[in-house]
Amino acid sequence: MTTFLDAVTADHFDTEVLQQHWIPLAKEDTDTAAVLRERLGVDFAAARDRVRETDDFLYFPVVANYQRGETIERETIVFALGSEFLVTLQPSEHFLPFDKAVAKMRRNPALTGSAQGVMYALLWALNETSERVIRTTSETLAQVRDEIETATGGHDERGRVIDLRRAMSRMDAAEQIVSRIKETQLQLARAARHLAADTPPGHRELDGLSNVLLADIDGVKQHAGIQHDTVRYLQHSVLTWSAVRQNRIVTVLTTIVAIFLPPTLIATLYTWMPEVQWQYGFLAATPMTLLAAVLPLAYIRKKGWLR
């Protein structure tokens, strides 16, 4: 007869142990959904977007954010927690974040002994995934910050004018990711609190793990809040720098107009002035034109408008 420990160390860990209390249900698998609805009373139809409690199950929707290659994916997982079984409505394809949960249950086989223990491992894995996404976003924002600091000098190391449109686009994407993570953490915290309240008496170890999980979820939420503040700061920095740059452009244009307008006016008037018939008229008008250009320039430099 195969014992519990034998099943834990067997190659068929997932099927022989996990499915004693965990039933993953693919969203497109309507046949299995119908069987579970008939035999266990699991019905996800009315619980996709909100917490719902029935006589047999407690439903929790959690929007998971996880990294797949260079992109951030987003999937909604619905947990149906019963006294004996945990049913998860999840994508049909392989769901990467739950690999961490399986690995954790391999290290701590006691978690597979109840539906609550399995759910704890799954929530822990989703929280770890959120933390990884936040770390990646933090690294992205650090790169954007370096780009902005370089842009304040006006040129990059090759002497080219820096275009911050790409940096602004990356900041907008980071802000969206951070906002989604904060939403996910709220859902994870709600699910973890219900899990702690639904844990049967006598599971002191699971009670302690649930408290630690709640603290970890809150820590990731705070980290997301810090990154959200960072995005706001960087956006404000870019807007301030852009305003300063525009003011400089306006100042330069105003200076050019102030310098060249008086000589242009003199040159225009010279075409119909009586002095044009004078043999020394051109020689007299030339220093006047130069003086009309130099005086505004000297005044502008004295005011410090060219800085």
Q: Residue 113 has what pLDDT?
A: 87
* Cα distance between residue 142 and residue 226, in whole Å: 13
* Cα distance between residue 280 and residue 292, in whole Å: 19
**Residues 261-276: what's their mean pLDDT?**
63
List the strands of the sheet with 58-68, edge to edge: 22-26, 86-90, 71-81, 58-68, 52-53
* Cα distance between residue 17 and residue 115, in whole Å: 12
Q: What separation, in Å, do the N-terminal and C-terminal C-alpha atoms of the chain show?
A: 87
Residue 10 has pLDDT above 50, yes or no: no
Confidence of residue 159 (pLDDT cuts 50, 70, 90): very low
Q: In Å, what is the CA distance from 231 to each residue of 151, 169, 178?
A: 17, 12, 9
Burial class (CB in 10 A: 0-12, 13-18, 19+), 32: middle
Confidence of residue 4 (pLDDT cuts 50, 70, 90): very low
Confidence of residue 275 (pLDDT cuts 50, 70, 90): low
CB-based contacts of 200: which residues, under 8 Å, 6+ apart? 83, 114, 116
Residue 180 has pLDDT above 90, yes or no: yes
pLDDT: is 92 or 124 the higher one? 124
Highest mean pLDDT among 40-49, 216-225, 269-278, 283-292: 216-225
Residue 3 has pLDDT above 80, yes or no: no
Q: Residue 5 has what pLDDT?
A: 34
CA 257, 260, 266, 272 torsion: positive or negative? negative
* Cα distance between residue 64 and residue 62, in whole Å: 6
pLDDT tens-digit map of 209-257: 888 999 999 999 999 999 999 888 888 877 777 776 777 767 777 777 7
Q: In Å, what is the CA distance from 250 to each residue of 80, 87, 243?
A: 62, 64, 11
Confidence of residue 199 (pLDDT cuts 50, 70, 90): confident
Burial code (b: 16+ CB inside 10 Å, e: under 16) for 127-146 equals bbbbbbbbeebbebbeebbe
Which amino acid is present at 301? Answer: R
Mean pLDDT of the residues in the chain: 79
Q: Residue 134 has what pLDDT?
A: 94
**DSSP code per residue over 183-226:** HHHHHHHHHHHHHHHHSPTT-HHHHHHHHHHHHHHHHHHHHHHH
Residue 78 has pLDDT above 50, yes or no: yes
Q: Where are the beta strands (DSSP E) in the chain?
A: 22-26, 52-53, 58-68, 71-81, 86-90
Residue 144 has pLDDT above 90, yes or no: no
Q: Residue 212 has what pLDDT?
A: 92
**DSSP code per residue over 162-192:** PP-HHHHHHHHHHHHHHHHHHHHHHHHHHHH
Confidence of residue 7 (pLDDT cuts 50, 70, 90): very low
Q: Which two tokens stand for residue 146?
A: 């370096």
* Cα distance between residue 172 and residue 30, in whole Å: 38
CB-based contacts of 254: which residues, under 8 Å, 6+ apart? 305
User: Phi/psi at 161 (nearest 5 deg)?
Assistant: -70, 135
pLDDT: is 264 or 133 the higher one? 133
pLDDT tens-digit map of 11-67: 445 656 677 889 999 989 999 999 998 998 898 886 667 788 888 899 989 999 998
Question: Which domains does the chain carry?
Answer: 4-245 (1.20.58.340), 247-303 (no CATH)
Q: Residue 165 has what pLDDT?
A: 76
